[in-house]
Structure 1
Amino acid sequence: MKNYYEDIMQKINEIMSKNDYDEAFKIVCEELSAPYVPQDFEKQLEQMQKIIMEKIKFEEKNFTNWNTEKVANIMAKKLDQDSHLMAFDALRGLNARLILEDIKAYLLDSEIKPEYKTFLIMVLIEQLVDQEILIEKNGSKISINPAKYNLREAQDILKDIELKIEQTIYDSNPSLFTICQHIANTYFYNVFPILNFDKFTLNDLAMAIIMKACDSLGIVLEESLELKIDFNKENTMILLSELNNII
């Protein structure tokens, strides 16, 4: 079974394979700033950091060659969805309204990965696109107006989940908390903006994330940790099943 550090390196490589160099760089920096970093692992991270920085600089130089037509063409390539992320980064400096019909079709396409739709929605929010947009994710649909969407409120939900997890496990197991953070972020980007807490609470989700992190490390959840959060067991198990399907 892989240890924590091997899992982190694998995760970074997987993220880089999707061309999400900003997220990979963020994880590397988080790991390098940890209170304790094994020497061998530190060297691997520092080497990875240099590679990512070179990739980011290369992308920045080549963004000048992008236009909305090229972005739309990349979006249409369903068999190469990893390249979509780079296209969306480029779209941030362009006018998304020029390809809005392509974007609407993309956001309703069930073959597109949910997290990729999130990155595209973020661009629309950033550019204050002022019209109702229908989004399909995981079998559910929601209509939002990007210009009126409260992104900070949604981001605060993620922060609240991370804070609840931090208060529960950080002191006893910082490494487990780091993995929980990654799982929480993955969940957020997978379901955003369908953040529906009518059927469960933040506590239910926080405990499901902790359970998922324990499973990934092959450790048993301590009973004392369960007592720190007031959660609904049935809801938590449903959410854990959802996390298993996502991650």
Structure 2
Amino acid sequence: MGRWSELCAGLICAALFLLWRFGYPHTSAAALVPVIALLLVGAGIYLRRVRLTLAMREGIFLPGSRYKRWFSGRMSGLILAVVEGTAIVLGMCHFALHARLPEVLLAAAIGICTLAVIAWLRRVMARELRPEFAVAASAWVAAAIALPFCLLHFWMQQDILPPPVWLEAGGFMEVMKASLAELPLRRDGIIEALSAMQLLEAAIHWMLRAMSDVWGVSALLFIYNSAICLAVGRFFADSAATFNLVGLTHELPFGTRSQ
């Protein structure tokens, strides 16, 4: 898809983000959004792993090697797609439900910067590297782009944005219950995972207020915020990888045809 890959990925990611943010609190049909997002992100992770494994396999094994067929990257790609994809989508979903307007704008900036750098870097690296290696850098690019935004997000939460309303509920258990009350009233699988993330975030904020002089708690909040920012960046980056790698399948067939 050439130069349009990142644009398509960005538009689809933004649409999924907004559908989840405004749809899930009102209709259970929005529960399809994480499924679609996982397929989109997971496909990029899976295809990237398979393409890299096949490319390296051709440089390691002789054409007639009997062990060559065991190194396809499918199993490891599937495991990575499920594990990494689930973490990325859950992070995005949790962030989208509770992000305030400045944080939404921050997420948009992460996505735009990530996709712009990936598009530029992919064209630059394609002059020297095989296409699959150029696309494979997307995950590292997402991490590098997200880092300054992690610092910005942490500063916003510490000095700009007001503390969450549920933090005023009182003691530890009251804060935990009040934070859960902000989640939509649903009975599905994803709400359980989101509840665990909500409790973790609430516990970190409560400890930060109760032990304001302990730098380790601030570091814990920074790590949590960094994980969320990275999930947002990877959401855009791996979606772009899906579009780019699908467009490369005709250049280096994989699977049974490459054996």
TM-score, normalised relative to structure 1: 0.30
Bigger Rg, which one: 2
Which structure would you say has the larger RCO, counting Cα contacts within 8 Å and 6 or more residues apart? Answer: 2
Higher helix share: 2
Higher strand share: 1
